[in-house]
Structure 1
Amino acid sequence: MTETKQLPILAFDTSTAAMSAAIRQGHETLGEIHSLAERNHSVHIIVHLKHLMEQCGVSGEGLGAIAVGNGPGSYTGMRIAVAAAKTLAWVWKKPLIGISSLEALAYGSIHQTNEAQALAGVHWVLPIMDARRGQVYTAGFAMTADGEWSRFADDGVRLMKDWVDTIAELLAGEAGHDPAVISICGDLTLHEAEALRLKQLCAEAGIAADVRLQPYELEGIWVAELGQQRLSAGQFDDTHTFTPNYTQLTEAEVKLKEKLAEQAKRTEEIKE
């Protein structure tokens, strides 16, 4: 494993409208791309990865591992990235490492301005991705002043309103152990009002945490960084059984479930 840790890692994510990819070796980023494809990632992903590897002078055989964001996020986007990662890992016989797209989003946002190094206290990070109907894909992470990274809430799909209330309740129970900063990061376009409501709730409750709204798009370098950490710890996934993190029924499945329920209801009415 010592030898593998020093080899470059190819990392990518297509859980959102953007495709983000990077090749990282140790603490050096050899190259990265960020491409908006309007969720048409299947047409471009292999071409983009091939060009990135050529630019970095890296071959498939020369990689140490492949790290991929496995969601949650766009149903189709997740499947495309995971399918590509599994195929490449199998062809090149490389370890496959799945990374939470939400964790990569949170981890990248906290490093964006190097605030972690100057923070005097704990920093909470709440990444969000829109999941429609007032819902968001979200989770909770924390970083201490000395850079210790941890998770305190699992990936899931939640109503943004309920999530804000949950965080406010959690803060109220901290009693003297409030985080110094709370960052709500990601695509805030549809959820800015609720994010600002958390700021208001904290002020009304006398909670001193500085609530910040941080628009941010996921970057491949942080998928790679988290992948390196997992690889160094000897943690990787089974290439054949690895699947995306589906946190809810797809819209098609929801409609099918509603249709079947309606058919069952009509059948019962006919019987009566």
Structure 2
Amino acid sequence: MVSNSNDLFNIKGQVALITGGASGLGQYYTKALAMAGADVFIVSRTDKGWSETNKIVSAFGQKAEFMQQDITEDDAAKKIISSCIDKFGQLDILVNNAGVQIRNKILDFKDSDWLKVININLNALYFLSHEAAKVMAQQHSGKIINIGSMQSFRAGKFIFPYTASKHGVIGLTKAYADALAPEGIQVNAIAPGYIDTAMTKPLQEDKERNHEILAHIPENHWAAPSELMGTVIYLASKASNYVTGSTIAVDGGYLLR
């Protein structure tokens, strides 16, 4: 029970671990959590965006620590959680954001590309959630936020390992939510719709494809990355303490049509 409604979305004093949190949509998740009061521990394969992200976090009076790590390496999850605890002494929120997409025709798809997508999007998420849960269970509280996709619900004939992995993310979200609820841990997912990012520029510039996409979105526009920030704050805060196993589509109504 929350005694003060003014604190519903306040996560001051908490620590959030975000994979891929220094660039792309991940940087917006980082910004949102810092804005709500959390210190952040960011894991990424390269140091791209670190300097800019550090300035963003500092502007909100919060601390940022960075770890350069391939999340698919053996024992990466243990190293990441251990490093976060060493730096901050705690872990309250995990955002499994890092992901990859590879596109090809089905008969031309390489086995190695299938494994790369599954290892980053699904296997790494499983292992990192597992290690984070060990810490969260001891404190009997925690939030795990997984990042799904419209492909968590739909097909995707040129990105089928991505589709398979994002369907798997939603399944794991439900399974973890069920298993960890007795430990006071909530596990949920966000499924972003069509977001205006550098990665989606080719789609937006393809007049025919852009028209098809917009015709499928009741809101009739591509979302700004900032439109995802409120959802991640909600799922990270006590405002969502009775929400678990859910996937929130932030899609402008895309899935309605």
Same fold (TM over 0.5): no
Q: Which has the higher strand share?
A: 1
> Which range, TM-score by smaller chain?
0.3 to 0.5
Q: Give TM-score scaled by structure 2 length.
A: 0.40
The TM-score, its normalising length taken from structure 1, stands at 0.38
In terms of fraction of residues, the more helix-rich structure is 2
Higher Rg of the two aligned structures: 1
